[in-house]
Amino acid sequence: MDVISVIRTKRDKGELSPEQIDWVIDAYTRGAVADEQMSALAMAILLNGMNRDEIARWTAAMIASGERMNFDALSRPTADKHSTGGVGDKITLPLAPLVAACGAAVPQLSGRGLGHTGGTLDKLESIPGWRALLSNEEMLHVLDTTGAVICAAGDGLAPADKKLYALRDVTGTVEAIPLIASSIMSKKIAEGTGSLVLDVKVGTGAFMKTIEDARELASTMVALGTDSGVRTVALLTDMSTPLGLTAGNALEVRESVEVLAGGGPQDVVDLTIALAAEMLAAAGIEDADPAKALRDGSAMDVWRRMIAAQGGDPDATLPVAREQHVVTAPASGVLTRLDAYDIGIAAWRLGAGRARKEDPVQAGAGVELHAKPGDTVTAGQPLLTLHTDTPEKFDYALGSLEGAWDIAPAGTEFQATPIVLDRIA
């Protein structure tokens, strides 16, 4: 076996054999295939695609490159959720304790933000003392004693994916749907969860801009999960407008706690409950009421135990940015559009996100929204508040907000986009 023949097969629109896939993933993980050679193969996959058998074998080979976790010793069924990423997408924070409060165990392996999309671990690290890095033994202990754990994936879980993901990020091959699907699903299958709900975002602030691309990605991932014995379902959800009223790390934690306390923005509450219902059904728990668990405080109780179990102080004051800048509405009327991508870029430029994985983030930086599409606004009223520790970044962030909203004349009818657009199972 040699890497040149593997590259040529896919370059010429051929089907990679199981032996070719197994060999190239193993050889790349060991360092026997160079980055530039894997880059060429990734580009050939981007341009020419893969069929279902190839994607399944590619995913299996990445799983086989590392360890697999097992939660059979738990007394509860396991259910996990993965989001493809968006702006203001803090759903994991209230969702994991909510599903645990309803009887499932939630082993949530999460990541950090890159570019305009926020990272769950970055958000939680704004809580004083909270730790993202847990050993497998610590993860199982937290999961067993609280019902939910949110932490970073260990280095032993699908190491081939970790190496390939970094390569795709710098070679223009991130968009390849076979590689996106296998990247996500190799980690989730290796994680060992019994069921999985995928939140595939659609819109300007999402990776998938069209519902057709989102359906293709969702269908591919559902098939991969199903073929591997993991009960898998996907919801396609709107990401044309930011979720909730905040985009930024500590800002989103504060809003998530409001949801767990029975309040919070309606779109965040609705999506949290919709995903919780799917996770509980996939785990075989039919009689739970996630809306009730938000109202009666049981989800909040799990949140507090989960945060404390990972070294965090659930009562600590969250960081606040040193500087704020208010953006006012330029006209009166009905706000009909607030672009998720533009808001995400502004939050990133303020310090809430990173351009490279090793960059630090500001816990208090981000964007606070004072109106959402459908709201009536008056000229001069606050529309957004920008938060940062470094005020010299305000002009940089404001540049990304030019054309970020539309305001129609008063009385204009507004038709809201539903938060859940489709379901793939």
Please identify every residue annotated as catalytic: 82, 161, 168, 183, 187
Q: Which residues, 6 or more positions from 413, have their beta carbon under 8 angstroms from its beta carbon?
A: none
Distance (Å, whole) CA 201 – CA 83: 7
Distance (Å, whole) CA 85 – CA 111: 10
Strand partners for 238: 202
Element (H, E) at 26: helix 18-30
**Extended strands (E) in 298-414:** 323-328, 333-338, 366-369, 376-377, 382-388, 405-408
Q: Which residues, 6 or more positions from 274, have their beta carbon under 8 angstroms from its beta carbon?
A: 235, 419, 420
Instruction: Determine the distance from the C-alpha atom of residue 135 to the mean position of all C-alpha atoms in its chain, rounded to a whole number.
Output: 22
Quick one: which of 246, 204, 205 has its CA closest to 387? 246
Q: Which value, in Å, is the radius of gyration of the alpha carbons in the chain?
A: 22
Burial of residue 348 (CB within 10 Å: 0-12, 13-18, 19+) is buried
